[in-house]
Amino acid sequence: MTVQEQYEQLEKTVREYNPAGDFARIRAAFEYADQCHDGQKRKSGEPYIIHPLAVAQIVAEELKLDSESIEAALLHDVIEDTPASHDDVAHLFSPTIADLVEGVSKLTRIQYATKEDEQMENLRKMLIAMSKDIRVILIKIADRLHNMRTMEYQSPAKQKQKSLETMEIYAPISHRLGMQRMKWELEDLSLKYLDPVGYEEIVTKLNDRSQEHEAFLQRIQAQIAQRLNELSISHVVYGRIKHPYSIYRKMFAQNKSLEEIFDLFAFRVLVDNVGDCYNVLGVIHDLYKPILGRFKDYIGTAKPNGYQSLHTTVMGTDGVPFEVQIRTKEMHEIAEYGVAAHWKYKQNGQGAGSEGRYEWVRRLLENQEGADAEDYIHSLKVDMFADEVFVFTPNGDVQNLPAGATPIDFAYAIHSAVGNRMVGAKVNNRIVTFDHKLKNGDIVEIMTSNSAKGPSRDWMSIAKSSEARSKIRQWFKKERREENIANGRASFEQELKHAGLSMKDVTSAENLAMLLKKVSYGSLDDMYAAIGYGGFTAQKAVSRIRSELLKLARQQQAEAASIKAAEESIPIPRPVKSEQGIIVEGLDNCLVKFSRCCTPVPGDAIVGFITRGYGVSVHRADCPNASPERRASQEGRWLKVTWGSDTNESYPTTIEVVCKDRLNLLLDISAALSTTQTFVSGIQSRSTEDGFAIIRMEIRVRDGEQMQAIMNKLHQISGILKVTRPAG
């Protein structure tokens, strides 16, 4: 199918469910995307525009979203992968569409310390955009679904990485949004690459027994339909084999082969109203023997994502168990398409989504505060994928919590003040321990006292929900900072000792700023406090700085060996006069100038370059313009230069700061420079579209030591991510 034919197919799909759609703007979005991606290819060799078209087709065919969503799907990669900007899209289409496209785009402009940090920031950005407009995540899931459908063109490493991310993040989000059809497909496609042997085994065996399975499905379907027809209950009934990943999980959890898994089958009965749901349940239990403990009423107590259905597992007449799901047609639409089923595209062409119903999005954003990237991603998976228990307050209000939740989770779900003042708990009117696991239907009462000392540190390991752990962390962070610093320092020093490292190496002036940057804290006290209240671990801190300290130790040993060798083999040179604090090997009284590309200061490793008519230009050794390749290609023009003892009082240099944009940022930076008695000769600042600021400052410093002190001071300012000295 040609690109034009694919576009016409998309337009036809949209017309079928939304004849009032804005087709002129949809075509304009397609043409603009085609123009922006012109010349780009996918790994398959196809023109890149095939991908946005396929994503838009999924958004239309599977989710039936409004015109704006189709336009945003067509444009979803232009900000990330082409020169087009947010302003360009906003000007040509609308600010809403530009925001949708920006929400789907990854943060590609910032360098992160670890892969987890990058993943967390991208997820957080997407969740923030999603909390404002739920269509962001619907387009993102469609994007990921098409990428997974065409994953065979990627390298094996990329296939595994993307499949794992899909299984851990995008399938759970689809689940929480109630989009079961897309969740199943994402899971099956991920399994295909994560365990190709297991996947192939299941698919092959299902195919081999397909005739036998089909006969069983038709027989049970006919039995149910016949009985419902006799009772004049209007219905639709059909059966299916459970999808491969569902079978795979069951095999893994129960350590069984496919032949030992009996409940492979699930039947759905769709009826007109809620009353008929319960009538059909009675009919099913009359026809077949119900299996005790396998009945769930999600109509009386709906899942948080809006899912409603009756589930029962029964034993067939031939001894084969199977599940029956009973729901109304409207419930079925919500079960299959989730939030997309609630979407109203007819209201002036604008979506009126049900974002307010997705309180968990707000909680995910709040719960990351005080947690490091790895913990945040872990709790994101737990919050989204964990099975849930539904428990009641004494007043009859329902609280849903992750499976395995305790009274601590319940207390903090009510309010952080209730959790902080908790002294005991009752479940079904009996006093229980704090680590008691709650079950569906429990009535939980929390006993509080104004004289309570607050949460205990072991509550962090007892609590199952990230919400509870986050609130406990916040309490310790706020109430016990001095204690946290003391405990954190002790843990850190113990871990350092265990790793064979010295505290002296960490606190030395030349190492400290770089090591703090590795752990992403402004000061050692901030890091100790985080370790103390549980927001970070001493093991992680030491593992992040260990390789740097070992590298520095090797460098120092090499330098010491080199100095010793030099002292033993080289005669003492005669005194040499310096120019502007620079000694040029083999030359006296030559013109010296400092290169503007890297602005060296005393203490920096330097090299000299003989210019045409302007003497010797001094570069930092790490400057790209003085790279080893350049020195090799112009060997005769590079010479050794060193700092003399009579350096100038100050030298001009440049520093660049990358930070989160906020009010009073420049004021805080100016105050920091003032405390270090730094002369500032110029300052430039620009904001980026994704909420960051890049500030470039021309300053004068005495030497590298003062330079390091300035950079350390800037690192301590809230919101500053990176402080560098530009070169090249």
Catalytic residues: 80-81
Instruction: Please state the length of the chain.
Output: 728
Sequence-separated (6 or more) residues with CB below 8 Å from residue 634: 609
- C-beta of residue 515 within 8 angstroms of C-beta of residue 545: yes
Closest CA to 158 of 293, 281, 43, 280: 43
Strand partners, 313: 323
Tell me the Ramachandran region of residue 434: left when phi exceeds 0, alpha when psi lies from -120 to 50, beta otherwise.
Answer: alpha
Q: Which residue blocks in 395-480 are alpha helix, DSSP H? A: 407-414, 416-420, 459-462, 466-479
SS3 category, 624: helix
List, in order, residues 6 or more apart from 466 with CB less than 8 Å away: 367, 371, 379, 380, 382, 383
Torsions phi, psi for 93 (to 5 deg) = -120, -85
* Strands 582-584 vs 641-643: parallel, antiparallel or unpaired: antiparallel
Contacts with 569 (C-beta within 8 Å, 6 or more apart), sequence order: none
DSSP bridge partners of 427 = 430, 444
User: Exposed/middle/buried for 710, CB within 10 Å: 0-12, 13-18, 19+?
Assistant: buried
Do 406 and 355 touch, CB atoms closer than 8 A?
A: no
Please name the residue that has the structure tokens 């989204």. Answer: 384
The tokens 């003032």 sit on which residue? 674
State the Cα–Cα distance between residues 565 and 555, nearest whole angstrom. Answer: 15
Instruction: Tell me if 317 sits within 8 A of 332, measured CB to CB.
Output: no
| Rounded (5°) CA angle 104-110-113 | 115
Structure tokens at 262: 């009996």
The set of residues, in sequence order, having a beta carbon less than 8 Å from that of 180 and lying 6+ positions away, is 174, 335, 336, 338
Sign of the torsion formed by the C-alpha atoms of 252, 254, 255 and 257: negative
